[in-house]
Amino acid sequence: MKHLTAKTKELVLNSTLEEKISYLRKQKWIPYPQADKIMAKLEDLKNYPTVDRMPNLLIVGETNNGKTALINKFYKKNNPYIREGEYDIVVAPVIVVQAPAEPDEKSFYNKILEMLNAPVIKSENPDFKLRRIISLFKKLEIKLIIIDEIHHVLAGSPLKQRVFLNVLKYLSNELKISIICVGIRDAFNVIQSDSQLANRFETMILERWKNNQSFLQLLINYEALLPLENPSYLTENSIASKILAMSDGLIGEINTILIKAGELALKSGLNKIDHKILDNIDYVSPEDRKKILRRNIL
């Protein structure tokens, strides 16, 4: 079982079928070049010295292509901690908040307060909420605020969009922190709609996967974590091409395919993923799902 990590090999040798399936379904982080580059950029921004015009970042990628997994991984590396001293101080270098379904500043402030475990007072004036947020950010020494699903801003009227974007500018200016916005390609339009913000945001894109060396390395790394006794040789050209075609090049779909295939391989006793296993999993590709939806609508 040279194809497995030591931990996965031990699991294969000593676990029941149910335990293997449970392990298979657990979320895994598998490094890859695009993600490593963005993670390094986030770390750089977290450690950026305080200047009048802080640099910001826009992370763009299609749905189910690893954006949220990436920022959650970064957040876990930068969880709040206690700085010990004469007085123990809680430090939270990074916070992650999801943009509200509509660009409403009060809802946005409430989400931030919830993430900071601070009281949310429904009747409180937005200006007072903002003052509390600024005070908490300074007290907790927050360096980065990551706003996921920033494309939600487009759901509001032009006026609401402008108000929300002004809030982002104010937070960045007042607190001297970097803001990270994350979303689908529409997120680019959100930032570009404000010339001042557009000049402050660098854009990094999570592209769809292609059949190249990075993709093959991803499959090697993933196979090492699959609790399958026999090697699947996922990098063999026909297998790799099949997985890529089924997934439409989206890493979330690749993950789903390999979990479903791994389960079927375990339950069938084959203990490896081959063409037959891939042909028999309960899976519909994103493109086929769109076709089914269009047919049903029509």
Three-state SS annotation for the chain: CCCCCHHHHHHHHHCCHHHHHHHHHCCCCCCCHHHHHHHHHHHHHHCCCCCCCCCEEEEEECCCCCHHHHHHHHHHHCCCEEECCCCCEEECCEEEEECCCCCCHHHHHHHHHHHCCCCCCCCCCHHHHHHHHHHHHHHHCCCEEEEECHHHHHHCCHHHHHHHHHHHHHHHHHHCCEEEEEECCHHHHHHHCCHHHHHHEEEEEECCCCCCHHHHHHHHHHHCCCCCCCCCCCCCHHHHHHHHHHHCCCHHHHHHHHHHHHHHHHHHCCCCCCHHHHHHCCCCCHHHHHHHHHHHHC
Q: What pLDDT is attached to residue 214?
A: 94
Sign of CA dihedral 239, 245, 248, 253: negative
* pTM exceeds 0.75, yes or no: yes
Q: What pLDDT is attached to residue 97?
A: 96
pLDDT band of residue 217 (cuts 50, 70, 90) is very high
Q: Is the pLDDT of residue 298 over 70?
A: no
pLDDT band of residue 200 (cuts 50, 70, 90) is confident
Here the tokens at position 173 are: 């200016």
Q: What pLDDT is attached to residue 242?
A: 97
CA distance 243 to 225: 17
Please report, for residues 76, 109, 164, 173, the alpha-carbon distance to residue 29 in angstroms, rounded to integers and kept in the order given: 12, 31, 33, 34
Q: Is the pLDDT of residue 86 over 70?
A: no
The verdict on domain 33-206 having CATH code 3.40.50.720 is no
Q: Is the pLDDT of residue 257 over 60?
A: yes
Most confident of 79-93, 187-201, 233-247: 233-247
Residues 144-153 have a mean pLDDT of 94
Residues 1-16 have a mean pLDDT of 93
CA distance 229 to 223: 11
Strand order in the sheet with 56-61: 94-98, 144-148, 178-183, 56-61, 201-206
Here the tokens at position 90 are: 């809680």
Residues 98-119 have a mean pLDDT of 92
Residues 175-204 have a mean pLDDT of 89
Lowest mean pLDDT among 49-53, 79-83, 87-91, 165-169: 87-91
Q: Is the pLDDT of residue 107 over 80?
A: yes
Locate CATH 3.40.50.300 in the chain: 33-206
Q: Is the pLDDT of residue 238 over 60?
A: yes
CA distance 61 to 186: 10
Residues 141-150 have a mean pLDDT of 95
Q: What pLDDT is attached to residue 289?
A: 77
pLDDT band of residue 198 (cuts 50, 70, 90) is confident
Q: Is the pLDDT of residue 241 over 90?
A: yes
pLDDT tens profile 271-297 = 999 999 999 999 988 877 777 767 766
CA distance 277 to 265: 7
Q: Average pLDDT, whole number, for the chain?
A: 92
